[in-house]
Structure 1
Amino acid sequence: MPPTLDLSRTAHTKVVFSPPRINLRRAASYNHDRGPLSSTSSRFNFNHLVFSPPPSPGLPSLSPPVKKPTRRLIGTIRPLRVIRYAIRLLSIVVVFYVSLVVLTWLFGEPAPSPNEPAKLAKPAQPAQPLARTEGEMISQKGPPDFPTPIVVTDHRGKAKWTVSIPAGSEFPLSMDQYTDMCLKCRQVADRTRHLRSHGHGLHQVSLGFGSDSAEDFVDVQEAQEAGYLQTGEKYLAGGREAGKPVCKSSLTFVLESSDAGLGKTLMMLWMAYGLAEKEGRAFFIDDTRWAYGKYTALFQPPPSPECSAPPSHEMLPCPRHARHLVASAATMDVTFGDLTKAANPLSESHDRTLRKTQFSLARRGYEALFRLNKEDNDYVDSRVRELLAKRIVPKSKGQRSGLAVGIHARRGDRHPLEYQYRHSYMPLNLYGDTARELIEAKFNHSGPFGGEDKAAKEHSLVVLASDDPMVYESAELAGASRAQERIKLASKKTVQKANPDRSVLHKFVDEAFGWEGGFFAAMFWNLGVSTAHAAAGASGGGGGGGGGAAPSAETLRLRSLVGRAYMMDLAVLADASDVIVCTVSAVGCRLLAVMMGWESAMDEGNWVNIDGGYGWMGLEW
């Protein structure tokens, strides 16, 4: 056992503590006096990594001294920061400039100050030809060189719109142009309303898209005076008659229509006249491109107003409140507006007030315009007297007479609304049975006249009008009297009888065609056209809607005959019949109701529709 150190026996009683800076560790630990340390040695540890020898006061420090931050002198410029700020400023300027260019392109120049004169106070410059696409808005200094509505700015910087029809434009415009202009009017008016609501001016004349506000629209005459549109002798030339001033307001009805039938055009014509009279407008009729030829070939001239027609460029299809309005089949929705927006015609929920308004307008037009040409009118009068004489009971008290039942049987390309017959036609026996039931109901009672009622029943008659010549020969309507015999639609059998014998050598003629089956649009458009020419036109896509080349004089003559026959049929039925049986799907049936009058046709029930339980429809379909 090794000896121990006994401190109690020493002469020193105080313990000496080493100062803190003195390292009590042996120098051998740094000098490796016991040999090198290795990873395999049992004495290897990490102390040499944790503890380092004290720094020598005479050697430099192993770590670099920390530099003290130096103060930057005031006014010193850093180049990189200057470049960065310059790039940011340049970007802001470029974005602002591009935005200004885009806004100027979209909305034109800024509105002038109150003291600055309006730039459009001077006449607009002639327009340059423009290329445009659907949905595009175009700005230019002058009005365009094609008919279109445009957006302009008044002297106070408020956006307005008008309709520009360049000088030299034909009148009337085509149906496609009128249809396109009516669409553009709604779009441009909406665009104007948007600009006004956002406080934008539009000093350039612009084509826009988008309502129909009266306060936003500038009529042509005011637009010319303000300098929005061109003026000049050629531009202002119109149909002014000698000794008559130009009408303050007018409505011109264009008879052109893609519908081969005459009934719908006639209904619109009558309603347009009633509308013009109601609004105090002078009324004019244009038959330049009417498929039936001249209006005076069928009717007597309309009543002449005390003023002359306005210049053609002032006659606008839209808006509805334009001073001089043009109406046609292409502008029906604009002209008649809400009058044509009724319930589904295949339902019974028709607004009676709306229908009666249409009826009253059409009735006023009928009273003023339905005057057949002199020859046809004289024939109708004599034919009506002849039919009325047939139903008078001879030697009766008080001139007793039978009941005259008129039947209008429309076939051809007009099919019934009744579901079970929608792909065919109403059976002819329904017409005959309805007529007999009406006669039985009239006289099948013991009246005060006794035997005279029976005689009146025997003198009752049926007056028949149809577009199908085979209907007159049917067994179901045997004994019926033709409404008129002045112009007949012949069947193929009748035409062949008039042609020479085919066994005899003669000059070649086209194969005969008749009206079996009724009136068809394709047959109407090809009247007076040879078979080869009709085939070529069909293959070329022309003529189907009355378009293509202008019809020949012979074609117009044949079409006029068809129209005259149709008008005389209606006139005789309306004047000679006490009750009329027809199908409301045919426009001719609706015209007959107008010709009878609301009281007789509707209130008294003398207009009988056998095509379902539908009422009078007017222009609804």
Structure 2
Amino acid sequence: MPPTLDLSRTRHSKMIVSPPRINLRRAASYNHADRGPLSSTSSRFSFNHLLFSPPPSPGLPALVPTRPRQASGSKLLPVRPSRALRYLVWISCVLFIYYLTRLTVVRRPVVRALSWTYHAHNEYEMVEAEENLPDFPTPIAVTDKRGRAKWTISIPPSYDFPLSTGQYADLAAQCKEISERVQALHSNHGLPQTILGPFSGPSLDDRHFVDVKEAKAEGLLRGWSVKLSRVGKHGLPGNIIGESNSAQSTEQQPICHKSMTFVLESADAGLGKMLMQLWTAYGIALNEGRAFFIDDSRWAYGKYTDIFLPPPSPGCRPPPRHEMTPCPRQARHLVVSSATVGDVLIPHQAAIPETAAATAAQKDAFHLARKGYDALFHLNAEDAAYVSSRISEFATRRTDSPGNSKSTHPGLAIGLHIRRGDCHPLEYQYRASYIPTDVYIERAREILETAFNHSAPHRAEDTAAKKHSFLVLASDDPTVYDSEEIRRSSIPVLRAQDRIKLASKAAIHQAKGEPDRAVMRKFVDETFGWEGGFFASMFHHLGTSGVGGKNGAEETPNADSMRLRSLIGRAYVMDLAVLGRASDVVVCTVSAAGCRTLGVMMGWDRGIERGAWVNVDGHYGWGGVEF
């Protein structure tokens, strides 16, 4: 009998005995030797033995206890991390390819041309529609290649330069409107005006504005190439003074990087107001590094070079005319006209103060105008020679005694600038009329008494200096020179210049000869003179019929009218030149632009600080440019 197996000493005292019904045959699928002959493909080396292993024996317990399965809902990740990573990489690649495709494919910019509906009180309603460039000057909203809202200005190259005053005014108002709308698209997602609240105007640095040159390079202004080929490279030229000064070498000069063009056109016929605006604009352009040009295409006084010398050459030529825009303030090539001069000069404006005390704003505006005066106030050669001789004549009179002997105690030359016409004083009691001439003469007498009123040892010297003192008078009213106040003045009165005089009716009759009233003669129109002073309405109708042109427009003056207007302008600037350069003290009314111009000509130190510029129109100080 075979020995029995003793399992009592084993570690496991118990064992599981399988039931007899379990078939213990070896499965052929788990034994490679019993599977028969292998095929040619199965005989090759394979990893199947690593992947397929027999299941554990159902009759034996697991050596290592297995963890219980968790429910599918309790898993943190529904898929294996490797599969999630593959999905993430795949999605990232798709997005990256889409982004590269969008960048490489040229997107055509969208142009939203604007049509404007006008309402009362200069209000504008903007309507946007995707279409080609309009055939009139207007701001346009555009969408660049990245889909961002921008705006620029479209001025067709076929338009005349400069635009009319009304067109510049409309463009300035429309620029504010479109700047507001584009800003709303970026910061408030296109909320309407009623939600955004009132708009205060575009800032000096609107980052959503695209200059015309850049907009053209980016394809935002389509269709201009055809128009430019029809009108030339620079469009219709106008009459820019700085360009005509160097016409022979214009093509060799580069185009200015930045420029400012001042358009000499205004409904106000006053020349002093225009000079203050022109000088201040030049000072601003100089501070901003802009080349400065002047256009006199429609100036009421004719050609600029008939009165003044051309402005200093900037060494470059003006840009194409359709790149000159009146707004916004940051535009590379800015056009300043009477309609937009306020937008440019308001930050530098010095209002007329109620006291004579100088302020920082006054001084800043004064120095800007002074820069323009030093660069631009140069008369033509003929008038400049006359002014120089007149100033020398007055300087000699101050030192010569009646016996032509030189005096060691020169007198004072006190200038009087008396403005009448359509300019009325600021002082309340005279605002409906004019300040009397006696007020000017009395102030001049006070100045003389203050200057030559020393103690007894110097009394003889003061008396001699008073004898050499005189008044230099300039007025727009020819009757002032022959007025009773001037004739009975104890101080001699001389004209500032007598080269060009404004005639009165009496002077015209005297020149023509008084007609014999007993003899019948052919009827002629009544003669008009400049009695009362300079009036803008009379100036605009000078040499015209006064009935207006076609469709009620102002009649275009003929060549004779322009010649007369030019003579009036020359007389005005010669008066200013003599008063400003020959006078020791100037007495005038600050309400007149010519008076403020004389202050600039005399200089800040001498005129304002030391009191050589004297105002008799109330207790006001020097004021800057007006609009």
Structure 1 length-normalised TM = 0.74
1:506 Cα deviation (Å)?
Answer: 6.5
State whether structure 2 residue 537 is matched by structure 1 residue 522: yes
Matched, 1:455 2:464: yes
Q: Counterpart in 1 of 2:260? A: 251
**How far off is 1:549 after superposition?**
3.3
1:495: which partner in 2? 508
**Number of residue-to-residue matches in the alignment:** 491
CA 143–260 in structure 1, closer or farther in 2 if over 3 Å, else same:
same
Partner of 1:237: 233
Of 580, 605, 613, which aligns to 1:607?
Answer: 613
Distance in 2 between residues matched to 1:497 and 1:418, nearest whole Å: 37
- For 2:296 and 2:512, the matched residues in 1 are separated by 35
Q: Percent identity?
A: 52
* Equivalent in 409, 414, 424 of residue 405 of structure 1: 414
- After superposition, the Cα gap between the structure-2 partners of 1:366 and 1:244, relative to the gap in structure 1 and judged at 3 Å, is same
CA drift of 1:505 comes to 6.6
In the alignment, which residue of structure 1 is the partner of 2:363? 356
Q: Kindly state the Cα deviation for residue 393 of structure 1 after the two structures are TM-superposed.
A: 4.7
- The alpha-carbon deviation at position 511 of structure 1 amounts to 1.9
* Equivalent residues in 2 for 1:164-563, closer than 5 Å: 164-199=154-189, 211-212=202-203, 213-230=205-222, 231-232=224-225, 233-234=228-229, 237-238=233-234, 241-340=250-349, 345=352, 347-348=354-355, 352-394=359-401, 399-446=408-455, 449-478=458-487, 479-499=492-512, 501-503=514-516, 509-529=524-544, 533-534=545-546, 536-537=547-548, 542=553, 548-563=554-569
Give secondary structure in 2 for the equivalent of 1:570. helix
Partner of 1:151: 141
Cα offset for 1:456?
Answer: 0.7
What is the root-mean-square deviation in Å for CA atoms of aligned residues?
2.8
CA distance in 1, matches of 2:510, 2:439: 32
Matched residue of 1:517: which SS?
coil
Aligned positions of 1:97-176 closer than 5 A: 115-116=101-102, 121-122=107-108, 132-133=117-118, 134-176=124-166
Give, in whole Å, the separation in 2 of the partners of 1:540 and 1:493: 37
- Partners of 1:403 and 1:140 in 2: CA distance: 71
The counterpart of 2:598, out of the listed 583, 592, 617, is: 592
Residue 137 of structure 1: SS of its match in structure 2?
strand
Go from structure 1 to structure 2 and tell me whether the alpha carbon gap of 1:440 and 1:539 turns closer, same or farther (over 3 Å shift): farther
Q: Is residue 124–residue 142 contact of structure 1 (8 Å, CA) maintained in 2?
A: no
Q: For residues 335 and 314 of structure 2, what CA distance do their matches in structure 1 show?
A: 16
d(CA) in 1 for partners of 2:116, 2:464: 77
Cα distance between partner residues in 1 of 2:523 and 2:515: 10
Aligned counterparts of 2:289 and 2:360: Cα–Cα separation in 1: 22
Aligned counterpart, 2:84? none
Could you give the per-residue CA deviations for residues 275-317 of structure 1, whole angstroms, max 9, x where no partner exists? 1111111110000000000001111111111100110001110
Change (3 A) 1:131 1:283: closer
The DSSP-based 3-state class of the residue aligned with 1:277 is: helix
Q: Does the 8 Å CA contact 2:589/2:617 hold for their aligned counterparts?
A: yes
Between the aligned partners of 2:356 and 2:371, the Cα distance in structure 1 is: 26
Name the counterpart of 1:102. Answer: none
Following the alignment from structure 1 to structure 2, what is the Cα–Cα distance between the partners of residues 211 and 360?
27
The Cα shift of 1:156 comes to: 2.2
Cα drift, residue 451 of structure 1: 1.8
Q: Secondary structure of the residue that 2:162 maps to in structure 1?
A: coil
Letter paired with 2:611:
G
Q: What one-letter code is carried by the residue in structure 1 that aligns with 2:306?
A: A
How far residue 477 of structure 1 moved from its aligned partner, in angstroms, is 2.3
Q: Sort the Cα spacing of 1:571 and 1:502 in 2 relative to 1 into closer, same or farther, 3 A.
A: same
Cα shift readout 1:94-127 (whole Å, capped 9, x = no counterpart) = xxxxxxxxxxxxxxxxxx98853699854778x9
The structure that has the greater radius of gyration is 1
SS at match of 1:160: strand
CA gap of 1:149–1:128, structure 2 versus 1, over 3 A, is closer
Match of 1:47 in 2: none
Deviation at 1:500, TM superposition (A): 5.2
Q: Does the 8 Å CA contact 2:415/2:586 hold for their aligned counterparts?
A: yes
User: Does the 8 Å contact 2:281/2:372 carry over to 1?
Assistant: yes
- CA, structure 1 residues 143+124, in 2 after alignment: closer, same or farther (shift >3 Å)? farther
Report if the CA contact (8 A) 1:132-1:138 is conserved.
no
Letter in 2 for 1:376: D
**Bigger mean CA offset, 186-195 vs 393-402:** 393-402
Q: Partner letter of residue 553 of structure 1? A: A
Q: 1:118–1:155: 8 Å Cα contact kept in structure 2? A: no
Distance 2:283 2:610 in 1: 24
SS in 1 for 2:102: coil
User: Structure 1, residues 481-522: CA drift from partner, whole Å, max 9, x if none?
Assistant: 000000000110011122255446777643211111100111
Deviates more, 1:329-338 or 1:401-410: 329-338
Give the one of 582, 588, 594 matched to 2:588.
582
Q: What code does the residue aligned with 1:359 have?
A: F
CA–CA distance in structure 2, aligned partners of residues 119 and 447 of structure 1: 96
Distance in 1 (alpha carbons) for counterparts of 2:106 and 2:541: 52
| Structure 1 residues 517 and 539: CA distance shift in structure 2, 3 A | farther
C-alpha contact (below 8 Å) 2:116/2:126 kept by paired residues: no
CA shift at 1:550, angstroms? 2.2
